Structure 1
Amino acid sequence: EKDCPVDLYALGMAKQAEIGERLRRGFPNGTIHFDKLMRVMEAELHPPPARRKQDELKRWLDPAGGTSYHWPMLLAFTVVLERFSVTAGKELRRAYPHLQVRVSFCHEEVWFRMVPWRL
């Protein structure tokens, strides 16, 4: 997978979070017309991306049909769970002998394998 042609990491976490929140609030289904995406990005990126960089970005993004693209990959991140605990009463553990964790973000879900209550 190639890196994003427009470097948003240089903005820092606070600005990335602002962009992400603006996109999430305005385009909650995860898709946006490219021209609107560029307006959001140009408000934060100084100088704004040159036309060539915009064309590279358009090819890099996942198309959603027409002139729309999926924006979440601009702010992609990795979640690592090293340890977590779930406490449940005896009756609940008997009714549901296995536990399955599901992580969801922008309509994408990852289901982990089922595990018994005691590992």
Structure 2
Amino acid sequence: MRNLRNIRFSAWEQQQDVTVTACCWDPAKDELLCTTGPTEAKATVELVRLSDHHQEQQIKSHTVTSWDAPSPSPDLPADKVVSLHHFADTLTTCVILEGGDIVYV
């Protein structure tokens, strides 16, 4: 891992007060994919694509999709994103939730 180097450091300013739950890299478009949610207050998962605009020196966000993810069990207050993977060869994203749901986008 010695050949990895930081090429840019920046922060994404969100419009709402949401927590990023998972991130993965899209090497085909050189962008980042992130999920926000679900929480106890809002049971919605949102998949967001973050792209870097060098001319404007800021990060732009674009909502790819969002869906409701209610708690699968009465024991869990809210479902949780366990894993996020992007497959660049097929241009699909896989979101795995704690309740057992697997979502392909």
Is the pair's TM-score, using the shorter chain for normalization, greater than 0.5? Answer: no
Q: 1 or 2, which has the higher helix percentage? A: 1
TM superposition score normalised by structure 1: 0.20
- Relative contact order (C-alpha < 8 Å, sep 6+): which is higher? 1
Larger Rg, first or second structure (1 or 2) = 1
